[in-house]
A and B are shown apart, each in its own frame.
Chain A
Amino acid sequence: MRIPRRTLISGLCATALSLFVGCKKKQPDGSAAGNASGGSEVVIGHYASMTGSTAHFGQDTDRGIRLAFDEANAKGGVLGKKLRVVTLDTRGDSAEAASAVTRLIDVEKVTAVLGEVASSLSLAGGRVAQRRKIPMISPTSTNPKVTEVGDYIFRVCFIDPFQGKVMATFARQNLKFSKVAILKDVKNDYSIGLADAFQKSFTALGGKIVVEQSYSQGDTDFSAQVTAIRGTGAEAIFVPGYYSEVGSIARTADRLGLKVPLLGGDGWDSPDLFKIGGDAINGSYFSDHFAPDLATEQAKQFVAKFTAKYGVAPSGLGALGYEAAEVLVDAIRRAGKDEPSAIRDAIAQTKDFEGVTGKITMDPERNPQKSAVVLKIEGGKAKFETSIAP
């Protein structure tokens, strides 16, 4: 189809003009203050990878969030208003994450944002939320940089250095290992952060890192790395990656006769790990935010409710999604009004909040202080092994 040139140019001008005017009207001081709705509902945005290679992360988190809001609504909502959640898909792409948050704020007029799971995506989305002064709570982004974006960005999970420290302490003190190999994903900030923290803590505790190997996300062949580790006498391999690659690494190690446990972080938390890793992943350990078989009353109730609603047990991601939503609801209640800046202040003052994964108190850096659990994989299931406090 041919469009006459003049029509095209004038059309483009009109579009550009309307965009300009639109922006001008909405945010005279750069903030989206108009988002404190006077209506009968409070709109909360959630941006997550609902499709793509980390689809499991987004879907499980979204289930947890919706469960929390449904419960709050059943009890009459907050401030006499109903809560409504709008979920936008990021497809695991950071450019998509930034535009999703922009759309949530401009089009959906949300009062607060929840998301993302992956740290690199939370960084992209968080920058938008901070600029527009809309509070954001990331359920599971563990990279320290996420909350450093600004004073509107919070999280309800522990941070990477702590997770690396937990596994180092566990390997050295509980498992009594002295020689461990590291196999990290050099394309992933999360993986590098965990590996660094693990190395520091493990050597400080008197252990030795015998070899450090690496791979890149998307690799499928790990035999060279496993072969190199095999000759070093390592008692375990620390693999702080995501579940698909970890599953393959476990199989490769098994095939090449390297029978040592793998250790990892919360990036392992997906049923796909057992599907890909099979028997080879049995006997390995990873740190996580939450263990479904952990025996606190709060956790048991949550698992029962989640399972009743969705027919599957929640992973740590579902639990943290639920917890992030609960912290937000609690903050809106304490703020007494649904204005973004008032909600921000209320979130910052969260103290001893009883969540499903533990007590939450926000520190001045907007990170909660809480303990981690270590899970052991046995027979295709992750079981609670121990809990390690900060």
Chain B
Amino acid sequence: MTQFFQQIINGLSLGSIYALIALGYTMVYGILKLINFAHGEVFMVGAYTGLYAAGALGIDAYEASGRAFPLYLALAVLVAAMAAAALLGVLIEFLAYRPVRTAPRLTPLITAIGVSLFLQNAGMLVFSPNPQRYPAILREVRFELFGVIVTNIKLTIFGVALALMFGLHLLVQKTWTGRAMRALSFNIDAAKLMGIDTNRVIRSTFAIGSALAAAGGILFGLDQITINPLMGVLTGLKAFVAAVLGGIGSIPGAVVGGLLIGLAEQLTAGYLSPAYRDAITFVILIAILLLKPEGLLGVVRVEKV
């Protein structure tokens, strides 16, 4: 039983990271009907920015002397990574997607795959293909509850993910930008006619989604110990499945989907075989597409002819 709860804890922390990434997929899809395959690479760049930012802020000295990295510096690392990823997201949108926005749907999709491959290889060139240990931005504190080990890192992952998702919810529901996003997602042409600067709104959507992915990247590094330039490939795909599972275009759906995928993966690895940990995600994808294509929390929209 202890083992079961341990796997649940592990699964929830992994799932929170998937959820953060899934939000980016779902927001972009909701507005542009585009699956942004480069999103996993934005997550990777976010993680690396965090690694280098921590290095620039002198994490090595702290690690060598055994002192904890101050919390305000850890927050600075998080902010730096989120800002860099937001910039990258906006840049990708401007350079790769905007020129093909009115083209048939397949064109931006292929473009997205191209951007994704480009960033993977650029990552190997710039960051070196060797896995790197993630710096201890947060000092690990471990405690035991009835034999189940919980670390402050796992709690932080859960906490940060929840806080960011709540923030996003407020943004989408309560602010002007959020209202504009919802308007675009409903009908982009009508929104334009109502005087909404669609380019600006799309830009903010990419910036916000990418920043969340960067936060996911840092949490992933803390949780998984090492990062490498191809970390975004499989993680990105799983987050995408999470978005589909929850109902693509739906923000609460992305959160629920992410947590479910994390749990399914961890329980499969723990009780069935680690060889199936990646397979289970895609089995879920096939099942959901067959049984409930709109996703768990998605809504069926009637196509007006």
Task: Give the B-binding residues of A (Cβ under 8 A).
Answer: 51-53, 55, 186, 213-216, 218-221, 223-225, 227-228, 230-231, 244, 247-248, 251-252, 255-257, 272, 275-276, 278
From known contacts A256-B149, A257-B149, infer whether A272 and B130 are also in contact, taking CB-CB under 8 Å. yes
Q: Contact between B7 and A220 (Cβ–Cβ < 8 Å)?
A: no
Across the interface, do B266 and A52 meet the contact criterion of CB distance under 8 Å? no
Residues of A within 8 A of B269 (CB): 221, 224-225
Residues on the A chain within 8 Å of B6, using CB = 227, 230, 256
Starting from the known contacts A219-B274, A231-B2, 18 additional A-B residue pairs (CB-CB under 8 Å) come to A52-B129, A55-B130, A213-B274, A218-B228, A221-B223, A223-B10, A223-B266, A224-B10, A224-B266, A224-B269, A224-B277, A227-B3, A247-B225, A248-B225, A255-B140, A255-B151, A276-B131, A276-B133
What's the nearest-Cβ distance from chain A to residue B63, in Å? 9
**Per-position contact with A for B199-243: 1 when CB-CB < 8 Å, else 0?**
000000000000000000000000111111011000000000000
Residues of B within 8 Å of A272, CB to CB, are 130
With both beta carbons as reference points, the residue of chain B lying nearest to A54 in the complex is identified as: B130
| Whole-angstrom CA separation of A353 from B55 in the bound complex | 49
| Residues of A with C-beta under 8 A to B270 | 224-225, 227-228
Q: What is the CA–CA distance of A231 and B269 in the complex, to the nearest angstrom? A: 15
Going nearest first, the 4 A-B pairs with the smallest beta carbon separation are A224-B269, A224-B270, A220-B224, A223-B10
Contact A224 B130 (CB under 8 A): no
Are B133 and A247 neighbours in the complex by a CB distance under 8 Å?
A: yes
B23 to chain A minimum Cβ distance, whole angstroms, is 21
Measured CB to CB, the closest approach of chain A to B121, in angstroms, equals: 13
Query: Are the CB atoms of B10 and A53 closer together than 8 Å?
Result: no
| B14 CB–A CB distance under 8 Å | yes
Is B142's CB under 8 angstroms from A257's CB?
A: yes
Complex Cα gap A219–B227 (Å): 10
List, in ascending order, chain B residues with CB within 8 A of A221's CB: 14, 223-224, 269
Q: How distant is the Cα of A256 from the Cα of B3 in the complex, in angstroms?
A: 11
Q: What 0/1 pattern do residues 249 to 277 of B give for CB contact below 8 A with A? A: 00000000000000000100111011101
Docked complex Cα distance between A186 and B275 (Å): 8
Please report B residues at the A interface, Cβ cutoff 8 Å: 2-3, 6-7, 10, 14, 129-131, 133, 140, 142, 144, 149, 151, 223-228, 230-231, 266, 269-271, 273-275, 277
**Whole-angstrom CA separation of A58 from B25 in the bound complex:** 40
Tell whether, in the assembled complex, residue B275 and residue A220 are in contact, meaning their CB atoms are under 8 Å apart.
no
Closest chain A CB from B269 CB (angstroms)? 3
Q: Of residues B7, B131, B142, which shows the largest number of chain A Cβ atoms within 10 Å of its Cβ?
A: B131
**Residue of A whose beta carbon sits closest to that of B140:** A255
CA distance A221 to B231 in the complex (A): 11
Q: Which residue of B lies closest to A232 (CB)?
A: B3
> Nearest Cβ distance between residue A64 and chain B, in whole angstroms?
21
What separation, in Å, do the CA atoms of A214 and B273 have in the docked complex? Answer: 8
Q: How far is the CA of A53 from the CA of B226 in the complex (A)?
A: 13
Contact A225 B274 (CB under 8 A): yes
In angstroms, how far is the closest chain B Cβ from the Cβ of A2?
A: 24
Q: When chains A and B are docked, how far (Å) is the Cα of A286 from the Cα of B266? A: 29
Contact A53 B130 (CB under 8 A): yes
Give the distance to chain A from B135, nearest Cβ to Cβ, in Å.
11
Known: A224-B269, A255-B140, A257-B149. A276 touches B277 (CB 8 A): no
Interface centre among A186, A223, A231, A257 (most CB of B within 10 A): A223
Which residue of the partner chain, among A224, A247, A276, contacts B274 with CB atoms under 8 Å?
A: A224
In the complex, which residue of chain B has the Cβ closest to the Cβ of A255?
A: B151
Complex partner residue of A214 from B133, B142, B266, B275, CB under 8 angstroms: B275
With a cutoff of 8 Å between Cβ atoms, the chain B residues found around residue A231 in the complex are 2-3
Given the known interface contacts A220-B226, A227-B10, the answer about A53 and B129 at a Cβ–Cβ threshold of 8 Å is yes
* Chain B residue nearest in CB terms to A244: B131
Q: Which residue of A has the minimal Cβ distance to B269?
A: A224
Inter-subunit contact A224/B131 (CB<8 Å):
no
* Nearest CB on A from B230, distance (A): 8
Q: List 11 A-B contacts (CB under 8 A).
A: A51-B129, A186-B275, A216-B274, A220-B228, A224-B269, A224-B274, A224-B277, A228-B271, A247-B133, A255-B140, A257-B149
In the complex, residue of chain A having the shortest beta-carbon distance to the beta carbon of B273: A214
- In the bound assembly, the distance between CA atoms of A248 and B227 in angstroms comes to 10
Inter-chain contacts of B227 with A (CB < 8 A): 220
Query: Contact: A276 with B226, CB < 8 Å?
Result: yes
**Across the interface, which residues of A come within 8 angstroms of B144, CB to CB?**
257
Residue from A216, A218, A224, A256 having most chain B Cβ neighbours under 10 A: A224
CB nearest neighbor in B for A248? B225
Q: How far is the CB of A218 from chain B (nearest CB, A)?
A: 8
Contact flag A214-B274 (CB < 8 Å), given A53-B131, A255-B142: yes
Tell me which residues across on chain A come within 8 A of B149, comparing CB atoms: 255-257
**Least distance between A126 CB and chain B CB atoms (Å):** 25
Report chain B residues within 8 Å CB of A275.
133
Contact residues in A for B225 (Cβ distance below 8 Å): 220, 247-248, 251-252, 276
Which residues of chain B come closer than 8 Å to A214, judged between CB atoms?
273-275
Q: B133 touching A215 by the CB < 8 A rule? A: no
A residues near B7, Cβ cutoff 8 Å: 224, 227
Chain B residues with CB below 8 A from A227, complex form:
3, 6-7, 10, 270
Q: How far is the CB of B251 from chain A (nearest CB, A)?
A: 26
A256 and B277 CA atoms in complex are apart in Å by 20
- B275–A244 touching, CB < 8 Å: no
Q: How far is the CB of B139 from chain A (nearest CB, A)?
A: 12
Chain B residues whose C-beta falls within 8 Å of the C-beta of A256 in the assembled complex:
6, 149
A248 neighbours in B (Cβ, 8 Å):
224-226
Bound Cα distance from A220 to B144, whole angstroms: 24
Closest A residue to B2 by CB, please name it.
A231
Q: How far is the CA of A244 from the CA of B129 in the complex (A)?
A: 12
Distance of A173 from chain B, by nearest CB (Å):
31
A52 CB contacts on chain B under 8 angstroms: 129
Q: How far is the CA of A220 from the CA of B129 in the complex (A)?
A: 14
Give the Cβ gap from A175 to chain B, nearest Cβ, in Å. Answer: 25
